[in-house]
Amino acid sequence: MSFLKNWTAKAPAAPSAQDAHLLPESVPLDLAPILAALGQVLAELEPAALDVDVARAKLADLCRDLAIEPADPLELDPMATGLDRGGIERVALLVLVLERRAIPEPTLKRLFENRARTAAREGLFEVARSSGLVTLDLLRGSPLRREELARRLVLGLGASVAGESLAEARAALERLDYGRLMAEAERARRAAGKG
């Protein structure tokens, strides 16, 4: 342990007021490798071992590997607040998918550089929070659920799906939205019960 101040260490940067803005169509992502990585991770992971702190640490490692300043852990804390067990599992799952380099490194760097906080919030934590019905079991059993999660990840990171316009990608996600489907089914069931 050094008692001397490390003059070479950079002082922590002050939190940026606003992350860099990215045009989604400028970052087209191929779904196939993301789906393949998702399948592999689902087959290998141990749900009980998934942990939000480990996920944040892995995310930070990923950023350092890309020579990017990771998001401040204090800024990530509020994002993880209120996540239930399912949400934690989905966050950890998505981080593992990124760790597998399902997205090529140059593209990943574009997505995270100067916007690591936004990418983490909207690409990981919000995706995990908004897909509450999509459990790990459902993901394992349904290719459609995996595609839904993959599309959410892509759009949440601020990218677009290769070969589709942004509107088409959003329409495809809406078609796959499991929560929306379940809500429609419940409405239909209630209407049938009343009719």
Partner 1 sequence: MNAPERIASLAARAFPRALARYSPYLLIGEPVVDPEGETFARIDLASRTIRLGARPITEASLEDALEALIAHEIGHHVAFPGSPVEHARLLLLERTFLPRLPRSLTGPFYDLLVDERLGQGLPSIEDDLCRVLVARGARAPDDVLFTFQRAVLEELWQRREGELLGKNAAAFERAFPDHRLDAKLVAQNLFAFAPDVTLQFLYFASIAWRYAMASPAQSHAGEGDCAEGEPSAEDLAAALVPKKGEKAAIERAIREGFFPKDLVEKLADQSLERRAGAMPGDGAGKTELLTAAMAAHYRREAEKYLFRPPPARVFADALVPTTHLEWEPGDPVADIDWVATLLRRGETLGVAMPLLRERIADEEGQSTPSFLGRTEIYLDVSGSMPDPKRALNAMTLAAQILATGTIRAGGAARALVYSVGHEKAWSFCRSERVLSKFLMRYIGGGTQFPFDVLAASVDEARDEQPIRVIITDSDFDANYDAHRQNASIFAHAAERSPALVLLLHAPNREKARRYEQAGARVVAVRALGDFPRVAAELAFSLFDPGPSAGAHDGNPSPTNPSG
Residues that bind partner 1 (CB under 8 A): 138, 141-145, 147, 172, 175-176, 178, 181, 184-185, 188
Question: Minimum CB separation from partner 1 for residue 163, in Å?
Answer: 13
Question: Minimum CB separation from partner 1 for residue 180, in Å?
Answer: 10
Question: Minimum CB separation from partner 1 for residue 134, in Å?
Answer: 11
Question: Minimum CB separation from partner 1 for residue 172, in Å?
Answer: 7
**Tokens representing 42?**
């689902």
Q: Confirm if 97 and 128 have CB atoms less than 8 A apart.
A: no
For partner 1, give the closer residue by CB, 56 or 151.
Answer: 151
For partner 1, give the closer residue by CB, 27 or 173.
Answer: 173
Cα 176-49-67 angle, rounded to 5 deg: 75
d(CA 141, CA 144): 9
For partner 1, give the closer residue by CB, 45 or 181.
Answer: 181
SS3 148: helix
Q: Confirm if 120 and 77 have CB atoms less than 8 A apart.
A: no
For partner 1, give the closer residue by CB, 126 or 147.
Answer: 147
d(CA 113, CA 20): 8
Question: Minimum CB separation from partner 1 for residue 192, in Å?
Answer: 9
d(CA 37, CA 100): 7
For partner 1, give the closer residue by CB, 21 or 194.
Answer: 194
